[in-house]
């Protein structure tokens, strides 16, 4: 996934039939003339879609332009969970089915698979990452503890985030219980929450102020361009007329780099670098608790806050749960029982984490 300087992310279109199928799905759901209440409701649970995009120097390279769900977070903790009892679609070959089943034989029984996670630890100011091999190693007995790792700050379990996540999934489950026109295979839920002790509103206040002043979206006062989400970089101030040229030039160079890298590694993750980027994290100046103070009496107090949050606070935790990956969505005339099974099982596991 690449980041565009305007704050969106770029997902490269997969080869046919998967890529065109995913593009068709987004076009159908986000059709300006759509009047289907089921699809209009579905928009709430997806990243916003802004059409397709191609680099100026490579018009045949097509990307889906999507909302960056992590953008509003200072230290985003991210988990990708594939949902459903089958990770292969109805048209998969026997070989494809065997391949998918062999990756995680428990998929049908558990109903979901952790594809990866990245969790921010306050104590060390670092991220712990787990890849798909971690998820595939989880059994019926260990899946609860395996998922709870995502909700642990290094000091304590973020029960407020678990509670908020359950509420978000229940809303998605409601949608699935009420629709019989689409079936989803190999689709995921993307979980994102704020990992730092700093309230996300501290970071958002500046953006809100910028928007109130009428500055174009994606720009800061003085013509600076807001770019990345985790490590905010800012393009050096230029006249407005020069910004677009600088961005296009950077994207063209980056596209060539991306293409070269992808030939070596299919799922490469790169950071979009535009010329003249400053390397300082501009948001680090406004942290609410400095790292050197995370000792003594502060940590026990933090634990008390997270362990004993009142219910109304838990409900308002800064959490996003969105559906992603739609290369295997097909028309149907029945409920998507496999996806529903997975959602219910995931809710049960999260509830167990919350209760125990």
Q: What is the CATH number for 178?
A: 3.30.470.160
Q: Per the domain annotation, does 14 fall within a domain? A: yes
- pLDDT of residue 103 exceeding 90, the answer is yes
Residues facing residue 320 across a β-bridge: 192
Residues 6+ apart with CB under 8 A from 278: 233, 234, 236
Preceding omega of 17 cis (within 30 degrees of 0): yes
Give the residue from 190, 187, 189 showing the smallest Cα distance to 326: 187
The mean pLDDT of the chain is 78
Question: Exposed, middle or buried by CB within 10 Å (0-12, 13-18, 19+), for 145?
Answer: exposed
**293 pLDDT exceeds 90?**
no
Q: Does residue 269 fall inside a structural domain?
A: no
- State the pLDDT at residue 216: 42
Q: What is the pLDDT of residues 16-48, one digit of tens each?
A: 999 999 999 999 999 999 999 999 999 999 999
Average pLDDT over residues 6-12: 96
The residue from 20, 39, 68 where one domain ends is 68
Residue 89 belongs to a domain: yes
**Pair 3, 94 in one domain:** no
User: Based on the domain organization, do 59 and 189 belong to the same domain?
Assistant: no
Q: How many CA atoms lie within 13 A of 258 on its CB side?
A: 24
Domain match, 121 and 95 both: yes
Q: Is residue 51 part of a domain?
A: yes
Confidence tier at 228 by pLDDT (50, 70, 90): very low
Number of independent structural domains in the chain? 2
pLDDT band at 302 (very low <50, low <70, confident <90, very high): very low
Q: Do 21 and 127 lie in a common domain?
A: no
> Are residue 12 and residue 152 in the same domain, yes or no?
no
Q: What is the rounded average pLDDT of the residues 191-206?
A: 65
Nearest to 17 by CA among 128, 116, 91: 91
The per-residue pLDDT for 59 is: 84
Question: What is the DSSP track for 10-68?
Answer: EEEPPSTTHHHHHHHHHHHHT-TT---HHHHHHGGGS--EEEEE--TT-TT--EEEEE-
Choose one of 28, 53, 68: the last residue of a domain: 68
**262, pLDDT greater than 80:** no
73 & 192 share domain: yes
Q: How far apart are CA 306 and CA 153, in angstroms?
A: 10
Does residue 57 belong to any structural domain of this protein? yes
97, 182: one domain = yes
What is the rounded distance in angstroms from the CA atom of residue 48 to the CA atom of residue 61?
21
* Domain-embedded: residue 153: yes
pLDDT value of position 197: 79
Helices (H), 182-227: 200-212
- 53-63: average pLDDT: 91
Span 198-220, average pLDDT: 41
* Percent of the chain predicted with pLDDT > 70: 67
Count of alpha carbons within 13 Å of 19, Cβ hemisphere only?
Answer: 11
Instruction: Tell me if 141 is assigned to some domain.
Output: yes
Cα–Cα nearest to 189, from 247, 136, 147, 221? 147
pLDDT confidence of residue 58: 86
Residues 188 and 169 grouped into a single domain: yes
pLDDT confidence of residue 229 = 44
Q: Is the predicted pLDDT of residue 134 greater than 90, yes or no?
A: yes
Mean pLDDT score, 343-353:
98
Task: Please tell me whether residues 178 and 100 are part of one structural domain.
Answer: yes
* pLDDT tens track for 142-186: 999 999 999 999 999 999 999 999 999 999 999 999 999 999 999
For residues 69-91, average pLDDT: 96
Residues of the domain holding 109: 69-197+316-355
Q: In this structure, are 123 and 150 located in the same domain?
A: yes
Q: Which residue has the higher pLDDT, 278 or 156?
A: 156
pLDDT surpasses 70 at 191: yes
pLDDT of 218? 44
Distance CA 353, CA 347 (A): 10
Residues 42 and 185 in one domain: no
45/83 Cα distance (integer angstroms): 14
* pLDDT at residue 249 tops 70: no
Residues 240-254 have a mean pLDDT of: 44
CA angle 46, 183, 145 (to 5 degrees): 65
In a domain, 203, yes or no: no
Could you tell me if 89 and 28 lie in one domain? no
Coil, helix or strand for 83?
strand
Boundary residue ending a domain (49, 68, 87): 68
Residue 345 half-sphere exposure toward CB, CA atoms < 13 A: 23
Which range is least confidently modeled, 84-88, 114-118, 258-262? 258-262
Of 28, 30, 125, nearest to 75 (Cα)?
125
């Amino acid at each position: 996934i690449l980041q565009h300087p305007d704050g969106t992310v770029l997902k490269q279109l997969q080869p046919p039939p998967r890529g065109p199928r995913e593009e068709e799905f987004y076009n159908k759901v986000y059709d300006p003339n759509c009047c289907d209440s089921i699809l209009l409701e579905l928009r709430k649970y997806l990243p916003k879609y802004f059409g397709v995009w191609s680099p100026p120097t490579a018009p045949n390279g097509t990307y889906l332009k999507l909302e960056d769900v992590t953008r509003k977070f200072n230290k985003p903790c991210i988990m990708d969970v594939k949902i459903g009892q089958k990770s292969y679609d109805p048209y998969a070959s026997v070989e494809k089915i065997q391949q998918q089943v062999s990756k995680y034989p428990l998929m049908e029984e558990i109903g979901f698979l952790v594809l990866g996670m990245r969790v921010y630890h306050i104590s060390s100011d670092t991220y712990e990452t787990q890849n798909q091999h971690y998820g595939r190693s989880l059994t019926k007995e260990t899946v609860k503890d395996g998922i709870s790792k995502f909700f642990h700050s290094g000091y304590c379990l973020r029960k407020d985030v678990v509670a908020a996540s359950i509420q978000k999934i229940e809303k998605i489950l409601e949608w699935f219980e009420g629709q019989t026109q689409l079936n989803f295979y190999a689709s995921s839920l993307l979980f994102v929450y704020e990992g730092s002790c700093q309230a996300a509103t501290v970071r958002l206040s500046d953006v809100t102020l910028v928007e109130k002043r009428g500055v174009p979206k994606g720009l800061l006062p003085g013509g600076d361009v807001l770019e990345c989400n985790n490590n905010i970089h800012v393009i050096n101030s230029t006249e407005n007329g020069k910004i677009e040229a600088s961005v296009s030039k950077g994207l063209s160079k980056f596209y060539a780099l991306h293409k070269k890298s992808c030939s070596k590694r299919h799922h490469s993750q790169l950071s979009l670098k535009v010329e003249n980027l400053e390397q300082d994290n501009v948001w680090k100046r406004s942290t609410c608790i400095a790292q050197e103070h995370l000792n003594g009496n502060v940590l026990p107090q933090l634990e008390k806050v997270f362990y004993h949050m009142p219910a109304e606070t838990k409900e308002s935790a800064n959490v996003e749960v969105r559906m992603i990956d739609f290369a295997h969505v097909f028309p149907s005339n029945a409920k998507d029982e496999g996806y529903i099974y997975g959602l219910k099982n995931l809710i049960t596991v999260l509830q167990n984490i919350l209760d125990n």
